[in-house]
Structure 1
Amino acid sequence: MTDKASCLILSPFEWTIAKRYMLPGRGEAFIALVAGISLVAVMLGVAALVIVMSVMNGFRAELFDKIVGLNGHALVQAYGGRLDNWERVLEDVRKTPGVTSASPLIEQPLLASYNGRVEAILVRGNTDEDIAAIQPNLKAGRLSELEAGTSTVAIGARLAENLGVRLGDTITIINPQGRSTPFGTVPRQIGYTVAAIFEIGVYDYDQAFVVMPIENAQQLLLIGDSIGMIEVTTEDPDRVGEILAPLAQRLAGQAIVTDWKTINATLFEALAVERVAMFVVLSIIVLVAVFNILSSLIMLVRAKTRDIAILRTMGATRTSLLKIFVTTGFLIGALGTIAGLILGFVFLYFRQPIVRFIEVVSGQNLWDPSIRFLTELPSRTDPVEVTVISVMALIFSFLATLYPAFKASGTDPVQVLRYE
């Protein structure tokens, strides 16, 4: 065990030679340049991996938090869109093991108009508890004004911009399924005062949602005491299908249970595929950077052939030379990896100012919320992924040193010095 450990530790002599080779002399400026390029290339490759993977993780996590935070982990939807005996079903849902909360919900696409502008909206009838949960996302107004029997609503910030609405203005919500008259069906139009404006952070929600008490939604839609669905939250969103499987069997033929994975399957699967693809592509960048270390070490070995021969004649072993050149190349990769991690974390910390600066310089909108779903560039760094990236870069760097190191350790001093 002691012999193995001593093989990995550099002696003072070996460390001195390794440091000397890491700083080539005046006649070896080109080798130093290639080594510097190698370090910078590894740094940029590692930084790119850390930045992209953190942004991808942040995008998925933020999207998941906002979508699931607003819609729950699953929805119990009645066939035909109307759940009449919802109190019994709600009680059954709440008694299901693993379910932490469940609440009735009405969600219906309608139209809203203000001063001649018309926008498609999604009316949500929520309980008082669910309405209060929007408080952290409130931009203006008071949610306490949304009470049953009052003509008040809360709307998304983008919808308010599109309609040109401010607090206290009255919007008209149009329900095409109005009352029947001798002259045909007359669309139902009711005016509602905007009591609050919120911003969830998901563009599609902020441009469409109109929230009101569930009793007001029932009155607007003329559905009596019925609801559209039940929103369910479980103790583990990743096991939501397993947790709600017994409930789905009990409600077969009456309602369907749809979890967040099914509702947003296309979006999250696309994110997963893109995440893997970006990791593979950027890993190739790190691999290409490591080839620079290989080329710089090969040139160093060729330039130091005479020195290597002299060291061998002075008693330096093959193992010593192997460790010297492995250490020289590995330290370039290690320094590049550390610098890349620092650069990546700095970029992530200042990501929003950097994006705004690039937008100003290029004149392009790099983060359009209508395309990106989220209003800001997200980031969430996974320590495990950072560790994997670092270890991968170090392993690549180590492997790149082996060929030049073995070449140097295999130098025959007799053959070299004979022709000097």
Structure 2
Amino acid sequence: MDKHTRRAARLAWLWRAPLVLLGLALGAVTQSHAAMPTAEVMHWWTSSSESAAVRKFAEAYRAAGGVWADTAIAGADQAKAVALNRIVGGNAPTAAQFNTTKQFRDLIDHGSLNTVDDIALRDRWDQLMPQPVLDVIKVKGHYYAAPVDIHMSTWIWYSKAAFQKAGIATEPATPDQLFAALDKLKAAGLIGLAHGGQPWQENILFQAMLANVGGKELYLRVLRDRDPKAINSEAFKNVLLAFKRLQRYVDPGSPNRNWNDATAMLIGGKAGVQITGDWAKGEFAAAKQTAGKDFGCIAGLGPNVPYLIQGDAFVFPKTKNPDTVRAQKLLATTMLAPDVQLAFNKIKGSLPILSNAETSGMDACARTGMAILKDKSRVVGMIEVYLTPDQNGALQDVLTTYWNTRMPVEKAQKGIVAALMD
């Protein structure tokens, strides 16, 4: 090769070298991105506080090296229906939100979910999670969901400003005192009970009365044991009458109102009381309101009232794709990391799922809830922990009809027996 040929070859290399290096760099980036665990996460957290909370999970997953693809669907029932259809149809997301109830039991029974046994054993879920939660996520020794929070569904929230206007000096400590406070609110020209007239919210009011008026024993006999004698008893009749009595204090705009819109009525001082889960705290926080100063929270109208829990969990549809499995395991690990749990639950209004979580930075209501959880005799599952979706739906139908019509209480009792015996 003469010197002219060698010079031409060197020039050709100088022209090609940047392209070769660029190609290698692009290839490395593409391979790196492909190696990152990518997760499509389907959930129904769409209110302002819920969206802010779920972003903490997304940020933590990305920081752990994953790619978070968010699929938010408004409405829990709609989101669950879409998730089920996609799983059955063979186009499942990486993870899908359900409540820690029997909602996903059919998916377990049909072999449609992957387990997270290794993570549950490593992180001592059996020792650190409440039993009602373990009872629904653990089936035949295997763990089929990653719970991410604990919600107590029947907190009694009240507006300090509304109570002051109505001349209510102390917070109610018994069911009779609650109704007396509602009477004073109504007499002061305020809405006594901020309520969203939707079946699931009426279900919550019913559970609140069953727990606070009926007590733990009756609660379990009706919902866990589905005992016809208990349902037809005078004690349960009194529960239903107390439930229906609450309707006197709602406003005409209640039907189909969303829960967060009802919470806004307390935040604005237009209503005095709301009975709903601790997800309401996220709305108070977003409005810059403080527990104990702007609003109050009552876990139960008495020292031994059962503390009704469930929460949110993510299930992982069945797949043998190793990349997807890796993404699922990274999700379960990341969501339950102590710092992530604290960041998420402070915004969501819920409690961390693991009992050894640090809660000193959480609000007064959360600290009250964590203290109650230590008394295992008070910790009881919410209604759907004990009932199948079909049973719960049939019960809701009876309760909504009873709430909205002149149905006699005795007929409601018979209807509930029939609903829970199916």
What's the TM-score, normalizing by structure 1?
Answer: 0.23
Task: State which structure, 1 or 2, has the greater radius of gyration over its C-alpha atoms.
Answer: 1
Higher share in strand? 1
